[in-house]
Amino acid sequence: MPRGQKSKLRARAKRRQARQEPSDLVEAQPTEPEEEEFPSSPSPSFEDVPQSSAATGTSSSLQVPGKVCSTTTVAASVSDAKFSEGATDQGKETPKVSQSKDTTEQSSKDLVDEKVPLLVNYLLYKYQMKEPVTKRDMLRKVIHKHKNLFSEILKKASEHLELLFGLDVKETDPNRGIYVLVNKLELGCDEKTGNDREIPKTGLLMIVLGVILTKGNCATEEQVWKVLNLMELYEEKKDRIYGDVKRLITKDLVQKKYLEYRQVANSDPPVYEFLWGPRAYSETTKMKVLEFVARIHGKVPAAFPSLYEEALKDEEERAQARASARARTAALARARTWAKAHSSSSTK
């Protein structure tokens, strides 16, 4: 190669190296290699999450971020369904939106809206795999360079996980930024043997229980599907997350005694209705379900006066029942003690 051409190539290589140096300096921080740090974590696009696995029991539902994107609108959708028309706004005024939106704020909002469903998807995957997640994981795998928006993105993702799946994001180690997802609704409808873990269905159950509660403790099938349709859950269509929704609410949750599903008396053509099942009454309360409904509306339980009064009455009745049970247990214990003492004295 001619000497002049070699010189040009060397000069071009030096210029290219000079352009790369600033980013190399940023990269050259004293940290461990990324591939060694998170070997089991999925990539930002989640393309390496297995479609399905008989060994791990993971489902393919998390492969479609679009579904998670659509479900992040559920809170607004369910609110539009008007669970109850008795809600009060408690004197809060909706601030007027200025016509001239700040470009930076709008850009941040768009980024948050984009990242929330991705983080929901990522956290659901970690929940399925029974793995804790760190703030560093979330920043590297989902948030990337938008660290200043981390708190807002995590807050919104946590709200969606709570409303849709009944999962609570808890920070177990603030110093190391370690988080875990726990099922906060204390319902056993997601019980499953083995090491695998399915996406919880307690959020869907709580929504159905909420519809029943707000319709006078008995909701027609049409009323329930009206709300579920707003969540893009349909009677004739299988869902990637919940599967066969019709079977889930009319058979599976009925067999587990969380719901009752029966034909309305003397209805022709047949009309069916839902009620709370005995397990729903034993494992949750009207107040807890009302709190869930209120969060969907962005309100407090007292904003639904008649339902709040009913829930308070239910709490009082449960408290009285517990007190009576304790009294019976104490009386039985005293009777046994007396009988034992009497038996001992009579044998002397």
Write the DSSP assignment of 62-131 as a string of letters. Answer: GG-HHHHHHHTTHHHHHHHT-S-TT---TTPPPPPPPSS--HHHHHHHHHHHHHHHHHHHHHHHHHHTT-
Round to the nearest angstrom and report the end-to-end CA distance of the chain: 119
| Rounded distance between C-alpha atoms, residue 316 and residue 322, angstroms | 10
| Rounded distance between C-alpha atoms, residue 43 and residue 48, angstroms | 7
Per 3-state DSSP, what percentage of the chain is helix, strand, and coil (rounded to 5)?
55, 10, 35
Could you tell me the two tokens for 304?
């639904």
Confidence at residue 344, expressed as pLDDT on a 0 to 100 scale: 66
Confidence at residue 53, expressed as pLDDT on a 0 to 100 scale: 33
Confidence at residue 25, expressed as pLDDT on a 0 to 100 scale: 25
Confidence at residue 154, expressed as pLDDT on a 0 to 100 scale: 94
The three-state secondary structure class of 235 is coil
Confidence at residue 30, expressed as pLDDT on a 0 to 100 scale: 34
pTM: 0.65
Confidence at residue 335, expressed as pLDDT on a 0 to 100 scale: 81
Angle at which helices 221-230 and 202-214 pack, to 10 degrees? 130
Low-confidence residues in the chain, pLDDT < 50: 17-73, 75-77, 79-81, 84-85, 91-93, 193
Place of tokens 């980024």: 111
CB 77 within 8 A of CB 230: yes
| Rounded distance between C-alpha atoms, residue 226 and residue 40, angstroms | 41
Confidence at residue 325, expressed as pLDDT on a 0 to 100 scale: 83
